[in-house]
Structure 1
């Protein structure tokens, strides 16, 4: 019982950590929207989560689309195997300053990721609360 609980919480904790890292990257992209030559970066969340958990979710299929193209040469994560592999975002339209940040896409990604982060946090909180309530009712009986 405890083993299943910790496995589920480990999975959700990994998801929460990756969501926080993705939020940091998206915020960095937004902050550099006016930086000449800046190339927006992100990572495929589903692949990163599968890599971080070792695919330990059984029959559960992860599905999240990333709006990214070319993998970055020497991107983070190649050394440790635990960090997500960063990708460069494909420029939606050409700019004179060669900046690839698409503010509409970044804002949408920021909000989407923030909502998913919050829902993961609520799930973890609910799971812990339910488990604690079950243990309290069992000890009181």
Structure 2
């Protein structure tokens, strides 16, 4: 899950950097990624195994079928205009982009911290008792 979150945040930083790089391009509309969701991180099959079940009795319940769209599976940048639009049609607000970048960096740092803590716990569990 953390690997998926880190990948999402890294791609979001790239999209925001592209927005900043095109802040002087006439007619450019800024892009952003959809929010990171738990369901999208699980993928099309969720955490269920790829093995199907067989109903041996009419009393058995069937598992719910999950429909995850292609947009949730893939991280595609979508237009997300900022609050200001200049006369040349450029909709990038550097202030908004810097706020988005700071938010992405804080989330990235938090995810890295969780990852390092989990590795520390695994190392401690693998050590011989003293």
Deviation at 1:116, TM superposition (A): 0.7
1:19 and 2:26 equivalent?
no
Aligned length: 108
Which of the pair is proportionally richer in helix? Answer: 1
Aligned-partner Cα distance in 2 for 1:50–1:17: 15
In structure 2, which of residues 120, 124, 127 is the aligned counterpart of residue 129 of structure 1? 120
Identify the residue that residue 104 of structure 1 maps to in structure 2: 95
Any idea what SS the aligned residue of 2:73 has? coil
Q: TM-score, normalised by structure 1?
A: 0.67
Q: TM-score, normalised by structure 2?
A: 0.72
Deviation at 1:108, TM superposition (A): 0.3
Identify the residue that residue 108 of structure 2 maps to in structure 1: 117
Deviation at 1:54, TM superposition (A): 3.1
Closer, same or farther in 2 for the Cα pair 1:120/1:91, shift >3 Å? closer
Any idea what SS the aligned residue of 1:128 has? helix
In structure 1, which of residues 15, 23, 35 is the aligned counterpart of residue 25 of structure 2? 35
Cα pair 1:78 1:85 within 8 Å, conserved: no
Cα pair 1:52 1:83 within 8 Å, conserved: no
Identify the residue that residue 53 of structure 1 maps to in structure 2: 42
Q: Which moved more, 1:105-114 or 1:36-45?
A: 36-45
Identify the residue that residue 56 of structure 2 maps to in structure 1: none
Deviation at 1:78, TM superposition (A): 4.7
Q: Which segments of 5 or more consecutive residues in structure 2 lack a partner in the other structure?
A: 48-68
Which structure carries more relative contact order (alpha carbon 8 Å, separation 6+)?
A: 2
- Based on CA coordinates, which of the two structures has the bigger radius of gyration? 2
Deviation at 1:41, TM superposition (A): 0.4
**Superposition CA RMSD, Å:** 2.5
Within 5 A, what are the aligned runs for 1:59-74? none
Q: Which segments of 5 or more consecutive residues in structure 1 lack a partner in the other structure?
A: 1-10, 58-76
